[in-house]
Structure 1
Amino acid sequence: MEQRITDQDVLPAETLALPRRGWRINPVKAVVVTGICWTGFAMMAWLVHHNRTTALDHTGLLFWRNAGDLTPIGSPMVLEALRDMTALGGTLIMTMMVLAAITALLFLKLRREAFLLAITAMTGTLVEVQMKLWVGRARPEIVPHLTEAGGMSFPSGHSFNSAMIYIAIALAFATMSARHSVRYTIVGVAIALSMLIATSRVWLGVHFPSDVIAGWLGGAGWAFLASALFFQPAKAAAESHAAEKLDVITEKGRTAHQPQ
């Protein structure tokens, strides 16, 4: 027998059903993933410091170029697409993405996730800058650069920041779903996107392959480490009296939209 749906059973379009929150990545698993990523980063840093990545770096940079004049392989459309891809890991886009994600999380009353994302982004940026200063590696001059790039080369800032930010955003919004498959898909897409951004840096000639490998591993590792390390501080900040003022959608406003 079919069940009839009446007007009283349908919520108005203006009603926002906030997600049930509660999921978080298992902190033990997060630390394990961090250990794997940062072990890989440390190994790559050691190899770079002892000049043992020359073959990898030369092969990786020349792989995308024609042998004769070192021009990029592919049509101008490919070059434009790679420049668009690498822009997704730039400072401006990353900053806008973080601010947009934090705003959305606050609208959804996911203050804990918003605070955790903000802390992850700020601390991770400091870590990335310090590592660049510590290593002080110059950018590659093996092939012509196909986009503007400044600063030190190791680790790749685009690779580090895109892995850190996109994975952190994915972990924040994954809390909205109770299904493992949905959460894995969200995080998986973030990982794939950040890897494409990292690859574009080598294709454009502004980073050695070892730069982007280390950068991606470092950024991904920091995203997972921060999810465990800063969870309690973010939770405490989100539950403070001052943080309650950040709720964009008030309980009063929600009640006013409920059907009578």
Structure 2
Amino acid sequence: MSGKRWFTSAFAAGLLCMVGFVLIAYWISDHQIHVFDDKVIGWVQGMESPGLTVVMKSFSWIGSGIPVAVITLAAIVILYFVLRHRSELVFLAALAISSSLINSIIKAIFRRDRPTLHRIAEANGFSFPSGHAMATIALYGGLAFLLWKHAPKLIGRILIILISLVFIIGIGISRIYLGVHYPSDVLGGYLLTGALLAIFIWYYQGYLERRGKKRP
């Protein structure tokens, strides 16, 4: 994909995600989104079974703080010491840190309480936006972008996208299934970090183009 197409695509995706997040935030603050939340919660938790609970707890654990930190650190070590992709290391680390900081700020602003009905797991802190959803987009979305750039064949790129989507969607649904987040928390987290990821991609592609032009 050419540089101009990258810029246009990243800008459009970021703008759409940000508009979506602003709408969800407004509906939450105006108490207009409970019908959507209740319907999705009823559908997701209606599938409850012992086996599915184990799967959902596993997805939720993968998206929690320690596993995300370990996977991010492992990716950074590989990028720096094995592949020598220092700029990609900075991209992934800055994305993860920015996502975490923004999540803390937005939660402190909205101070939305977590759901209280049918809790299968326990969680602390405020609910909106979902920290798991934001960390998942930052980690697996960021890795998917970096790996996609180096995948030589279409089938490899498709597999990268599919695997990333499995983790992203699975972790998001798990938080609803376990009763620790509203669907709007998860969707808001996806959209907010999706906008952040688009901004990072836009800036990173611009950096690569500028660096390429400086080379003889």
TM-score, normalising length: structure 1: 0.73
- Establish whether residue 174 from structure 1 lines up as the match of residue 154 from structure 2: no
Q: How many percent of aligned residue pairs carry the same amino acid? A: 24
Judge conservation of contact 1:61–1:203 (CA < 8 Å) in 2. Answer: yes
Structure 2 residue identity aligned to 1:162 = T
Aligned residues: 209
Structure 2 residue identity aligned to 1:194 = I
Structure 2's unaligned 5+ residue stretches are 211-216
- Establish whether residue 140 from structure 1 lines up as the match of residue 115 from structure 2: yes
Structure 2 residue identity aligned to 1:52 = Q
Structure 1 residue identity aligned to 2:27 = L
1:230, distance to aligned residue in structure 2 (A): 5.0
Give distance in 1, aligned partners of 2:77 and 2:2.
Answer: 20
Structure 1's unaligned 5+ residue stretches are 1-21, 67-71, 237-260
Give distance in 1, aligned partners of 2:52 and 2:155.
Answer: 32
- Establish whether residue 187 from structure 1 lines up as the match of residue 167 from structure 2: no
Give distance in 2, aligned partners of 1:127 and 1:23.
Answer: 31
Give distance in 1, aligned partners of 2:2 and 2:157.
Answer: 10
1:128, distance to aligned residue in structure 2 (A): 1.2
1:46, distance to aligned residue in structure 2 (A): 0.8
- Establish whether residue 113 from structure 1 lines up as the match of residue 88 from structure 2: yes
Judge conservation of contact 2:111–2:126 (CA < 8 Å) in 1. Answer: yes
Alignment of 1:94-133 (within 5 A): 94-106=68-80, 107-133=82-108
Structure 2 residue identity aligned to 1:147 = A
Identify the residue that residue 130 of structure 2 maps to in structure 1: 156
Deviating above 4 A after TM superposition, structure 1's stretches of 4 or more consecutive aligned residues are 22-25, 230-236
The structure having more radius of gyration, on CA atoms, is 1
* 1:184-242 deviations in Å (ceiling 9; x for gaps): 44234313321111111111111111111111111222222212235567999xxxxxx
Identify the residue that residue 203 of structure 2 maps to in structure 1: 229
Q: Which of 36, 41, 66 does residue 21 from structure 2 map onto?
A: 41
Give distance in 1, aligned partners of 2:209 and 2:90.
Answer: 8
Determine which structure has the larger helix proportion and give its number. 2
1:59, distance to aligned residue in structure 2 (A): 1.9
